[in-house]
A and B are shown apart, each in its own frame.
Chain A
Amino acid sequence: MFRSSAELLYDKLHGVACLFKPADMQMQHFFIILQERLASAFNQLPCRSAMQRIDIKRDEITGKEIVVSSVDLTDTVQALGPRYQPEDFDIKAIFPLESFSSGLQIVSINDDSKLLEQIQNGQPLRCYHIQGRLGESTNTLDANGVIVEKSTYKHVNRSKIERVCALIQSSFQASMYKMSGISPFTQAGFELAKGGLWKPRDHTLPPIVYGLKLLNFKAPFFDIEMHVINEQEMHLKEVILDIGIRLRTSTLSESVRRTKIGPLTTQHSLVIDEITPETLITNINTVETIIDKSNLLDKTVLVNRTHRDETKLLGKQPDENTVDLYKTKRYITHDSYTRPIEESDDDTNR
């Protein structure tokens, strides 16, 4: 039996895709729209025709038994309904966006592989563009709330905001050390710090802001670019509020937009109007090739539970081999120091 074009297309539609969620739309609602669109698109293609029903009848004229096949009425579209229902498209998402924010959303459609989990473990660095407004502050920290406080902002200029952003960024980067559970008193901890930034693989940790930069400032609006992991929408708005507190004024977030997840940018994403099965399949192909090429677990650190417990004890030097540093493509060079007292053995080389 030949399969219909809809069935062939349905077999191809599985994998991880990158979509652009519009603002002020709940994610569940977005997925329902997606499912309904896909279902209607599939139903418009030539679908599986109704099966044949086989009867064995006694011919009245000759008296012999003949095999008669006719269209099985229980299998027609009129009886069963459209061939493709929205529930046929199983959509799962990681790093979910809440309704106020817009931007990239990684989803998996009809996917059984563990690629989504791997992406989540790799802790890809998320980049947000947030527009903030000086002078007003609401109860929900965004423009949808009720204004609670108003203050002057004439004293704020671009260099002050940049200074405050540098302060917040460096204090978050310094707290990344503590949150990873790596002891700074060991030589292995020092070698790790020499390599620059890393991302703890633990999802339950509080958010870590790696980069905080001011893009535009035209009073009273300012744009902030933020690179984070382990975040939720409220944490981003709290950072904007924190900037305002340090500048001695009040702030709120006008819009939140996620522009990057790891190597994926808005260029690789599909807007809601563009979503058809064909575009989705090409999108899945590009996204999966990008993820294959990029080293997902690059610069992530997973610390053993024993290491964490040992560092809690006072004054105990834990075993240096308890840090699992995933081998990165860019090698951390070890410069040989002149005449250290003990023999130096490379602990981070596995």
Chain B
Amino acid sequence: MTIIQRSLNLCSQCYMKLPTRHININIINPRKKPVPTVSFVGERSYLYPSVYCWGYIGTGALGVFDFVNKRPDPKHTDTKQQTRLRRSIPYRHPFSYEHRIKISRIACGNGFTLFSSNTLKYDKLWACGLNTDSQLTYFKDRNHPKGFGDYIIVPKVIHLPMKHPRSTRIIQVAAGRAHSVVLTDNSGLFSFGNNAFGQCARQVVPDEIYKNNMLIHSFNLDLNDVDDKVTEIVCGQDHTLFLTEKGRVYSCGLNTDGQLGVGHYECVARPERVRGDIEHEHIVQLASKGDCVLALNKSGDVFGWGNNEYRQLGIMNDPIDSPASLQCAQPRRLRFRNGSSLTNMKCVAAGGSLCSAVDQQGQLYMWGFGLLGFGPKHTTIDIPQAMPMELFGQNEFNQDVKIDHVTSGLMSTAAITTNGELFMWGKNRYGALGVEFDEDAPMPMRVFVPARVRSVALGPDHTFALCKGYV
């Protein structure tokens, strides 16, 4: 703030009025020159989408050099330089405006982040964070002949082995616990990282060492239809799901909870078609962050499979207490204890132990176990419960508040309203909720991001938000 505004702040605290008749103009404008007109926004200014990040700094997942290696402050006289391990308040990532890159997708895994841009240039994919399982591929440099090591602090470019890099765009990136998958429009799919259960869609090699692994697996799915192509990829903790244009689902990876939906409980390395109740449905959206998967079809019905220990998938034919109902290997339409099933939904999200869905009117439903957002007392709900819109700011001054979509992390949830406001709740690990306090949030709290939030990517320890400014 300028000196003038700072002194005015002090004046407003006392009741004395600023005497307007006795302004000494010589202080403000001594030479009495005419005030020039400044232009803060040029005629051809372009609003770059901004990236905000917050959460755990230690793994380098936030990708800001100054957080990890704090430059020694000449004002600090003590030798013990303490670096804070968490960034609880949103920070604007300098990556986007420093290098003039328009970032279109962000994916957050366990301690690492992937950024992708929709360009045709060579540099399309960047990554930072943990690299113990080569989930960010192997980096080597003249100065680092044996590799970059376990942590990448600043986002580095990943060059994927594409045949035509100047004519391929990256459509999507997805990150799981220790693996990453990239979807392009011309050159197929790429995956790298941990493959202990086949989540990278290649065969499991026994005793494979994933650290400093130079392998990037490039593949295409065996789709039954010639016209079909993969449009979306979703990564759970140790499994990967593929969604095609015609609404079919393929999956590979860990299957001990039945999260692949293929009817058995053994790991699958080659992506298989998911059948069951969704065999003839046109699936539009998939959601999975833990071991439970939710799918949304075109008409708004919700299907699910995978882990059912927290009653996320409703009731089925088996009685509730039998061990057979704890996992569900076949996709089924969700039906709940009071006979209802979710209809007319536009967005679903599945976290570690809770699920959420948004319907066409913008109402948010939560069910499962954990910090659902209804206060610290109500932690288990097995029938989807609507969240009162007053928590998201609906009152007599703000009549129309609707949720646009909801995203789930492992232990926290984020909801974005149509106005571009971000609300987060759940466990607050290392400040990943973006609110200033360190405790867990049992009800939705507003995250103060000074821009309109378009989408948010949640990792267990850190969060990234893709935003657009106001002017």
Contact = CB atoms under 8 A, between A and B. Distances in A.
B161 interface: no
A248 interface: yes
Interface string A156-198: 1000100110110111011000000000111101110111110
Contacts of B396: 196-197, 211
B11 to A, nearest CB: 7
Interface residues of B, number: 56
Given A98-B17, A210-B397, A185 B28 contact: no
B419 interface: yes
Given A193-B443, A194-B391, A169 B397 contact: yes
Interface of B: 4-5, 8, 11-12, 17-18, 20, 23, 25, 28-29, 35-41, 45, 337, 374-383, 385, 388, 390-391, 393-398, 419, 421, 438-443, 445-446, 448, 450, 452, 470-471
Contacts, number: 152
A190 B12 contact: no
Contacts of A210: 395, 397
A147 B35 CA distance: 7
The 6 closest A-B pairs by CB, nearest first: A190-B375, A211-B397, A234-B12, A248-B40, A150-B37, A174-B446
23 contacts: A139-B4, A146-B25, A150-B36, A152-B38, A155-B41, A160-B470, A163-B452, A166-B419, A171-B446, A171-B448, A173-B395, A184-B445, A185-B376, A194-B390, A196-B390, A197-B397, A210-B395, A212-B397, A213-B397, A234-B11, A234-B12, A338-B385, A340-B380
Contacts of A156: 471
A310 B386 CA distance: 32
Contacts of A171: 446, 448
Contacts of B439: 185, 315
Nearest to B18: A140
A338 B383 contact: yes
Contacts of A220: none
Given A147-B35, A160-B471, A187 B377 contact: yes
Contacts of B25: 146
A337 B397 contact: no
B376 A187 contact: yes
Given A151-B40, A248-B40, A195 B377 contact: no
Given A150-B37, A173-B395, A193-B390, A344 B385 contact: no
Contacts of B8: 139-141, 234
Contacts of B38: 149-152
Nearest to B29: A146
A140 B20 contact: yes
Given A173-B393, A246-B471, 7 more contacts: A139-B4, A151-B39, A160-B470, A163-B470, A164-B470, A197-B396, A211-B398
Contacts of A139: 4, 8, 23, 28
A99 B382 CA distance: 60
Contacts of B20: 140, 144-145
A238 B11 CA distance: 13
A148 interface: yes
A150 to B, nearest CB: 4
